[in-house]
């Protein structure tokens, strides 16, 4: 049995902005990925709305700093074969960081946490797959995305994350060509695009885990 940790924010949790609820279980991308990979792979979905890479949200009751949560989850779900990190959308809120460069620095730190965590019984550190999230879009009414996010900054994430992955020798995948944010809020995914993320990731994950391609 291979075990994957899907570590992310509300895109991973499955926020449906149009319906103001959570997507059905089968439409959340980690579950779509799990179904595509088959019964020999377990995907642990750890998404939290508002989660950042390394930035604190002082107005939130929950701790939204990913660097605080990740060590706990690595210990909880150890042993792991792969950690998929898809974060950055909340880093681009002006109140958090606002810049793609800051999100990339946060991703660097999260990779170090995965690599340096003291795993039990000399279990090796899992592989890491960095995923650049979908680009922000204008809302249906023509206004900008929620949270005062800047669309242009979201377009910078892929190349910055790609460079982080190159330097750290991790996997990298840009999901933007496969999924588009909904005009409901310019940030989150509708059910079709949420499923598209899971399906697009499946062959990449298969290759990283040494599984046969379908």
Q: Using an 8 Å Cβ cutoff, are 114 and 73 in contact?
A: no
Residue 35, token pair as written in the block: 């179904």
Rounded to the nearest integer, the mean pLDDT of the chain is: 97
What average pLDDT does range 66-77 have in this prediction?
98
H and E: helices and strands count for the chain:
6, 7
Strand order in the sheet with 82-86: 41-47, 2-8, 82-86, 127-132, 171-174
Sorting pLDDT into bands at 50, 70 and 90, what band is 38?
A: very high
Residue 212's pLDDT is what?
Answer: 84
Residue 213's pLDDT is what?
Answer: 81
How are beta strands 127-132 and 171-174 bridged, if at all? parallel
Sorting pLDDT into bands at 50, 70 and 90, what band is 2?
A: very high
Element holding 16 (H helix, E strand)? strand 15-16
Query: Cα–Cα distance between 95 and 126 in angstroms, integer?
Result: 32
Residue 150 has pLDDT above 90, yes or no: yes
Residue 160 has pLDDT above 80, yes or no: yes
Extended beta strands in 27-70, E state: 41-47
For the chain, the structural domain boundaries read 2-209
- Look at the block and give the residue holding tokens 């790609």: 162
Residue 122's pLDDT is what?
Answer: 87
What average pLDDT does range 69-86 have in this prediction?
98
CATH for the 2-209 domain, from 3.40.1030.10, 2.40.37.10, 3.60.10.10, 3.40.50.1110? 3.40.50.1110
Query: Cα–Cα distance between 38 and 183 in angstroms, integer?
Result: 33
The tens digit of pLDDT for each residue in 108-121 reads 999 999 999 999 99
Residue 68 has pLDDT above 80, yes or no: yes
Residue 214 has pLDDT above 90, yes or no: no
What are φ and ψ of residue 6, in 5° steps? -95, 105
pTM over 0.85: yes
Query: Cα–Cα distance between 45 and 4 in angstroms, integer?
Result: 9
């Amino acid at each position: 049995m291979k075990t994957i940790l899907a570590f992310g924010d509300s895109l991973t949790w499955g926020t449906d902005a149009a319906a103001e609820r959570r997507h059905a279980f089968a439409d959340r991308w980690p579950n779509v990925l799990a179904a595509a990979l088959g019964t020999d792979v377990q995907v642990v979905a750890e998404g939290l709305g508002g989660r950042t890479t390394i930035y604190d949200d002082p107005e939130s009751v929950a701790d939204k700093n990913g660097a605080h949560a990740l060590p706990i989850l690595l210990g909880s779900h150890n042993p792991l074969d792969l950690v998929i990190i898809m974060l950055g959308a909340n880093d681009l809120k002006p109140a958090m960081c606002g810049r793609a460069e800051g999100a990339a620095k946060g991703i660097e730190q999260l990779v170090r946490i995965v690599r340096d965590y003291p795993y039990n019984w000399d279990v090796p550190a899992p592989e890491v797959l960095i995923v650049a999230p979908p680009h922000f879009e204008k809302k249906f009414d023509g206004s900008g995305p929620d949270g005062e996010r800047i669309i242009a900054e979201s377009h910078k994430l892929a190349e910055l994350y790609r460079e982080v992955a190159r330097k750290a020798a991790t996997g990298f995948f840009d999901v933007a060509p496969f999924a588009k944010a909904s005009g409901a809020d310019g940030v989150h995914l509708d059910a079709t695009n949420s499923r598209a993320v899971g399906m697009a990731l499946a062959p990449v994950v298969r290759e990283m885990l040494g599984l046969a391609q379908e």
